[in-house]
Amino acid sequence: MDKYYSENWYQATDSFLKNASNFADVKMCVAGGNKFIVPYVMIGSGPNKVVINSGVHGIEGYLGSAAQNMFLDRFAKTLTPEFCKKYTICLVHVINGWGMQNRMREVQDKKNGGLVDLNRNFGVDFSNPDALPQNPKYELAHDLLLSKPDAKLKKEKIIEFRKRHLKDGAWDAISFGQYKHPYGLFYGGAEQMPENQMTLTIYDDIMQGAKSLISIGMHTGLGRFDRKRGQVTGQLLVSHPEQHKNTQYFSNMLPSTTVVADNRAENGPVLLGDLVDCLEMRYSAPELPVYTADFEIGTGEFPIMSPIYKRMDMGDARYDLLNYGNISAQTLQNLTESWYPSDKGWRDAALLRAYVLFSELLQNLK
């Protein structure tokens, strides 16, 4: 399994180009002098499109790219001509190349400042800054999260905050997205980012003549990996409640994958500006069903501490950036372990999760 992983974005992109060109012409998307191109490949010619994208969150692209290279190596050659008449399998390789290269989830917005979470930037109307989505509950946590790094005291305070705000929704709201603090957590940006533009350009190309769309984003990371207590989990996150037809669709199609519904999404999307909801709004029509989800491979499974560390590490990184101009080696290492553990056991098991997902998906599409 090791051979599918890369050391950096350049190597990952080379491998993808080499492997993908065995099956079809690889297309490239470039935007505004961005040196991190987004290559994508379409295998087959069917009107039912199945897209696997990776690296919307840069550092998570290490697993995503490895999974796509594994797909090309192990699954692409098994697709029959009949299958390819019905379906087109599309792989979109590492949407946030800068983040992957710099081991960050986000991308730096050089023009407006801040660290932008691309998965809070999709389909947001930035034309009127006063009308941007609001997340007032995030405000309660902002100062604490961005306070001076302190492994003991800050952790205690975040634990305390979680206890106090678990029921009023403020703890959850931290990750929903916000448009007020460029260096806050889960910041959605001040304008559409080039990477978001590229992604939608690629999907528009893929969707020409489409009769249906299944789109799955590869993600990792739930907090620092713990060699002893850590577990590699694989969950397909659907942004709809349990009884929704999309949740049911995935549950039926992927019986051995854990499909997690979002029961908070009774009246619409919970996350602001995420790709899965944006794709649904952009393409779905009565005669064109759209099923979107994110496959989240876990890095930590001690349920209370993982999300606490994760938020603390993200806040520490921002404190470092704002006060010293760069992220300390220790913080960067913590961030890496939260989203792309160095542990070989994790890396093997994570790819195995992707393997199971892909084989089940292909089996049930036939």
Smallest distance, Zn ion to C-beta of residue 357, A: 16
Q: What is the radius of gyration, based on Cα positions, of the chain?
A: 20
Q: Find out whether 340 and 103 touch, Cβ atoms under 8 Å.
A: yes
Backbone angles phi, psi at 233, to 5 degrees: -110, 155
Question: Which residue lies nearer to Zn ion by CB, 49 or 219?
Answer: 219
Smallest distance, Zn ion to C-beta of residue 295, A: 10
Question: Which residue lies nearer to Zn ion by CB, 6 or 88?
Answer: 6
Smallest distance, Zn ion to C-beta of residue 326, A: 23
DSSP per-residue string spanning 35-94: SS-EEEEEEE--SEEEEEEE-SSGGGHHHHHHHHHHIIIIIGGG--HHHHHHEEEEEE--
Question: Which residue lies nearer to Zn ion by CB, 16 or 340?
Answer: 340
- Tokens (6 digits) for 248: 């049911």
CA distance 335 to 356: 27
Smallest distance, Zn ion to C-beta of residue 314, A: 12
SS3 of 217, please? Answer: strand
Question: Which residue lies nearer to Zn ion by CB, 23 or 36?
Answer: 36
Q: In one letter, which amino acid is 202?
A: I
Smallest distance, Zn ion to C-beta of residue 57, A: 4
Question: Which residue lies nearer to Zn ion by CB, 60 or 337?
Answer: 60
Strand 87-92 relative to strand 115-116: parallel, antiparallel, unpaired?
Answer: unpaired
Smallest distance, Zn ion to C-beta of residue 18, A: 26
What residue ranges bind Zn ion (CB under 5 A)? 57, 60, 219
Residue with token string 């542990």: 343
SS3 of 210, please? Answer: coil
> What crossing angle do the helices spanning 305-324 and 153-165 adopt, rounded to 10°?
120
Q: In one letter, which amino acid is 80?
A: T
Question: Which residue lies nearer to Zn ion by CB, 120 or 219?
Answer: 219
